[in-house]
Structure 1
Amino acid sequence: MAQRIKTVLDVARSKGFRSGENPVTAIKDAQVLPKVKAKVKHHKAMHWKDVPAFYADLKTRPAMAAKALMFTCLTGSRTGEVLGLRWAELDFQARLWVCPAERMKGGEDHRVPLTEEMLAILEPLKAMQSEYVFEGQKRNKPLSNMAMLMLLRRMSVEGVTVHGFRSTFRDWASEVANARREVAEMSLAHQVGSDVERAYARSDLLDKRRALMEQWTKFAAGHQA
């Protein structure tokens, strides 16, 4: 708002409607106005202890939204990354999903290790022969970005967002798996360290992240206590 006022007053001065310095500039330089900090919006997350029962319920549901939500929970990926997933991004032999930079929030390619449980979700969907892995109601179009959230509501899972499962995974990684911070953060495609540190960090810790995702998948899918 202050920038808009400043612009209006500058234009007025240039047209001869006013004279003198712009008062907005003087106020900003004096730093007399309180700084307003935007509140961080936290996505409500399911407690990691509740994930196995929730995942077991999801596995009984045939809807495409359930398949997408299962995959989202296991990979810790963002909603848009999962819904925009194309078959060309998957390497089944290497058990790897490479989400391209243009679809990533950080603007860099992100490699996601695929576990047996993840592959079991994906394999049957090949038969649809769609461009998108998780096809919506329209042919060769992805699911709606509200599909998974609406599924949560139909399951009577209140106070939880799809994005919140990233926090669920992060809490589990810290509290249960005792994962190194950089491994857990990279699993979520978060940037770790300063610009200089990242410049020298040549590895995305794929092998360590694969081990962590294997452990998380076994827990979520109820294969271990």
Structure 2
Amino acid sequence: MSRTIQKLNPRKLDGLSEPGWHGDGEGLWLRIKPNGSKSWKFVWVRDGKRREMGLGSYRAYTLAEAREMAVAARNLLKEGQDPLEFRKAVHELEEKERAESVEKTKPTAVAPTFLTYAKEYIAAHEEGWSNEKHIWQWTNSLTKHAKAILTKRVDMITPDDLVAILKPIWVKIPDTAGRVRGRIENILDAAKAQGHIKSPWENPARWKGNLVHRLPKRKRLATGHYSAVPYEAMPDFFQAVRHRPAPAARALELTVLCATRTSETLKARWREIDLKRGTWTIPAERMKMRVEHSIPLSVTAVELLKMIAQGRSPKPDDFVFPGQKVGKPLSQMSMTMVMRRMDLGHYTVHGMRSAFRDYMGDMTGHAENIIEHALAHQVGDSTARAYRRKNAFDKRRLVMADWAEFLIGTVVEFNLDGEVQAEAA
């Protein structure tokens, strides 16, 4: 190309500051704006109309690079193409290829298996569970009774799968079956909420309008929600427990005497117990209803606790029933194992509360609301509970004494006001 075309002097460009259009020839221009900014332009005329295409800023490209771009634009014009339309088409093609490349590198969105997501769900909720036994219960019940869906994707589970899982245990172990169904329903709902299951979708574990029509009606246990030793057999059972030497047997003994829940007994600390006054105050955070519960200890319960503390000099924060690991209580399964070793594994520890309730309702004249208070059940509205809390404690002491005396073989007769009438061995 002749020098008459390349009019701009590379050595003088940096000093060039006069606003306006400075031509290099054959359509290449350096434009300087009043604010001092410089940019390269390619200008041509097509169909009688002036066309302009920006090539980039002066700082981004040298004069030589700008001239190369101008040559490429002139070649396109010779081929009958519009440089602006050509550049737009190239940019669109590059953008399409870039998008396709990104799409190919994205991982395929595949819903997790039920087992994988169940582990995530349990891990996410375990901090909010006050009872660490919940973690074991959830994991054990699902791996044991939901094997058929563990490796299935959460979005592929059907009502037929749920029927196949639940039908064999629905009547045989109804309480466990009900909990398994509820846990599966919760996990699948959470999977849907996190986008692992696409709409439209209905939870295959849903009871109403779904499984209620496909599973047989369950029979409830005659003694209540948990399988319980009949109260008529409780004195013999209690004596058998007292003759067993294991620490877990002492925990079971106290659980029976106080009609407490498993975790309430096993996580008891000495600071909760006042042996002089004969009271055990369980803080609200350890109670199912999140309400502080004071238990009037019977003489038998006080003697048991004194025996447990003998020779130990326990500190206030020590567990009453310490486990093998330092700073941990006995295992949640420890009392259940005692019953299994007694060949009574078909009964539950929680069922002792049912035996207590049945005995009190059938064989004594204690008021129903006092018995419910003894079980830490909420009775009446908040106003009624506030009023009764002060007066119920002494009457509950009679209830617990009655229960202890029944267990050790002493019969106490009460009138309808809960007052002792007669006592016989």
Which bin holds the TM-score, normalised by the shorter protein? Answer: 0.7 to 0.9
Give the match for residue 189 of structure 1: 376
Q: CA deviation at 1:134?
A: 1.3
Measure the CA separation in 2 of the matches of 1:161 and 1:206: 28
Give the match for residue 312 of structure 2: 128
Give the match for residue 61 of structure 1: 244
Tell me if structure 2 keeps the 8 A contact 1:89–1:97: yes
Give the match for residue 109 of structure 1: 292
Measure the CA separation in 2 of the matches of 1:195 and 1:35: 37
Task: Report the count of equivalent residues.
Answer: 208
Distance 1:144-1:3 versus aligned 2 partners, 3 A rule:
closer
Give the match for residue 91 of structure 1: 274
Measure the CA separation in 1 of the matches of 2:194 and 2:325: 48
State which of 395, 403, 412 in structure 2 corresponds to 1:208: 395
Distance 1:197-1:84 versus aligned 2 partners, 3 A rule:
same
Relative contact order higher in (CA < 8 Å, ≥ 6 apart): 1
Q: CA deviation at 1:44?
A: 0.6
Tell me if structure 1 keeps the 8 A contact 2:296–2:396: yes
Q: CA deviation at 1:202?
A: 4.5
- For 2:356, the aligned partner's letter is F
Tell me if structure 2 keeps the 8 A contact 1:115–1:213: yes
Question: After superposition, where does 1:36-185 map in structure 2 within 5 Å?
Answer: 42-126=225-309, 127-130=311-314, 131-185=318-372
SS at match of 1:105: coil
TM-score if structure 2 supplies the norm length?
0.45
Give the match for residue 34 of structure 1: 209
SS at match of 1:205: helix
Larger radius of gyration: 2
Tell me if structure 1 keeps the 8 A contact 2:336–2:345: no
Greater share of strand = 2
Tell me if structure 2 keeps the 8 A contact 1:186–1:204: no
- For 1:217, the aligned partner's letter is A
Deviations 1:30-69 (A, max 9, x none): xxx72778x8892111100001101111111111011110
Distance 1:198-1:23 versus aligned 2 partners, 3 A rule:
farther
Q: State percent identity of aligned pairs.
A: 38
Question: After superposition, where does 1:3-22 map in structure 2 within 5 Å?
Answer: none
Tell me if structure 2 keeps the 8 A contact 1:71–1:121: yes
Gaps of 5+ in 1: 13-21, 28-32
Q: CA deviation at 1:5?
A: 8.7
SS at match of 2:295: strand
TM-score if structure 1 supplies the norm length?
0.81
Gaps of 5+ in 2: 1-184, 203-207, 213-217, 412-424
